[in-house]
Amino acid sequence: MSAKKTTTYFESGKTKLYARDYAGAIKDFSKVIELDPEFAGIYYWRGLTKSCAKNFAAAIADLDKAIAIDPESDDISAYYYRGHAKYKLQDYIGAIADFDKVIEIHSVSVHAYYYRGAVKYKLEDYLGAIEDYTFAIDNFSESLRFLQEYPIEDKTYEAERKKGREECSTKLAKASFFRGNSRLECSNFLDAVNDYSQAIELKYDLANTYYKRAVASYIQGEYQRAIHDCNETLELKPDFINAYFMRANAKFDKGDYANSSSDFEKFIVAKSNNSSAKISNTDTENDIKQACAQACYIRAKAKEIIGDTEGAMADQDVAEHLWPEEKGKFYRSGVIYDPVFHNLPSK
């Protein structure tokens, strides 16, 4: 009788899990543990459910027990979901160890490569991230091609197939974007542009992706494409302040000094009027002052070129007030400030 009750609670828990009734599923799985603590796989199922409910610390505790009960198992699921939970809790070293174990057991686990790439990106191991994202992208691309091109006779699976296409497309786009970021950090600008282009084609975070492609294009001297992508960013998100700064730099280097000055003005005004408008999440007030100072310095040069000497001197004065450490030392060197690179040029 007890075994039958245990099985009933277990099957009920799985049904509730699939219906996303996580609280109900956890309650049923806990009842199974109360009735039979040795019930096969029960800690895994409860850990998986807690992970779905975003209770990652509790999920890890259950998945630890699942692995301890059967440490020699070749089932990758407990390691995979524990790695995912650790990633969410920013235990990146622990997450790497679990994803390594998944790949050791099952060398073609594409999702383990995908998340291990994400962890390596967080740890600033950009070459490692590129390697893992490349494996994931190749496999997601192949899967998406299959789901798009090959017909199925049984139409009852069409809804499931559509869901698979959407999930695969989303992961492919995200992996392309972050491989692009990793390549940008490694100064591989051409391949970064190609990755951002694929992410744009798949409609991933368009305002940000166009901006990142503008950065990579600018550094390669592709000023017109950088301007185009900044235009796209600002069309989608008019308050994307950094895009004005990037577009201003591209226009300056293209020789469009008047319009460059106009974009620098928009950037400076936006920064001055909105103290919460940061260059990146980690920037300080001093970082913002330095960014505005650099905009003033470059705009001063633009004004000097077009003959507005008075305006150039005024901008120079503002820049030196905001960034006194650089007084008399700054020169236009073609190096721009951008959140991708985190640091302002030293001169």
In a domain, 89, yes or no: yes
Look up residue 326 and give its DSSP letter.
Answer: G
User: Using 50, 70 and 90 to split pLDDT, how confident is the model at 327?
Assistant: low
Contacts 24+ apart (CB under 8 A), 20-29: 20/52, 22/49, 22/50, 22/52, 22/53, 23/53, 25/49, 26/50, 26/53
Evaluate the CA torsion angle 112, 136, 339, 333 in order and state its sign. positive
Query: 185: domain CATH number?
Result: 1.25.40.10
**Predicted local distance difference test score (pLDDT) of residue 152:** 62
In a domain, 274, yes or no: no
In a domain, 319, yes or no: no
Give 182-194 pLDDT, tens digit per residue.
999 999 999 999 9
Q: Confirm if 87 and 119 have CB atoms less than 8 A apart.
A: yes
The domain of 186 spans 2-247
Look up residue 336 and give its DSSP letter.
Answer: -
> What is the phi-psi region of residue 151: left when phi exceeds 0, alpha when psi lies from -120 to 50, beta otherwise?
beta
Tokens standing for residue 84: 């995912």
SS3 labels along 72-136: CCCCCHHHHHHHHHHHHCCCHHHHHHHHHHHHHHCCCCHHHHHHHHHHHHHCCCHHHHHHHHHHH
* Burial label, 72 (beta-carbon count in 10 A; 0-12, 13-18, 19+): exposed
Mean pLDDT, rounded, for 119-130: 97
Tokens standing for residue 44: 């895994």
Quick one: what percent of the chain has pLDDT higher than 70?
A: 86
Distance from first CA to last CA of the chain, Å, rounded?
Answer: 79
In a domain, 310, yes or no: no
Give 196-230 pLDDT, tens digit per residue.
999 999 999 999 999 999 999 999 999 999 999 99
Give 133-155 pLDDT, tens digit per residue.
999 999 988 888 876 766 666 66
Give the helix ranges, DSSP H, for the chain: 2-18, 22-35, 42-52, 56-69, 77-88, 92-105, 110-122, 126-149, 158-185, 189-201, 206-219, 223-236, 241-254, 257-273, 285-305, 309-322
d(CA 240, CA 201): 21
The pTM score is 0.84
Give 37-72 pLDDT, tens digit per residue.
888 799 999 999 999 999 999 999 999 999 998 887
CA 342 to chain CA mean position, Å: 16
At 317, the amino acid letter reads D
User: Using 50, 70 and 90 to split pLDDT, how confident is the model at 167?
Assistant: confident
In a domain, 70, yes or no: yes
Q: Confirm if 199 and 173 have CB atoms less than 8 A apart.
A: yes
What's the number of domains the chain is made of?
A: 1
Q: Which residues contact 336 (CB under 8 A, 6 or more apart)?
A: 218, 245, 246, 249, 294
Tokens standing for residue 49: 């459910």
Give 28-45 pLDDT, tens digit per residue.
999 999 998 888 799 999
In a domain, 159, yes or no: yes
In a domain, 141, yes or no: yes
Q: Confirm if 197 and 225 have CB atoms less than 8 A apart.
A: no
In a domain, 152, yes or no: yes
d(CA 12, CA 265): 63
Rg for the chain (alpha carbons), in Å? Answer: 26
**Predicted local distance difference test score (pLDDT) of residue 75:** 85
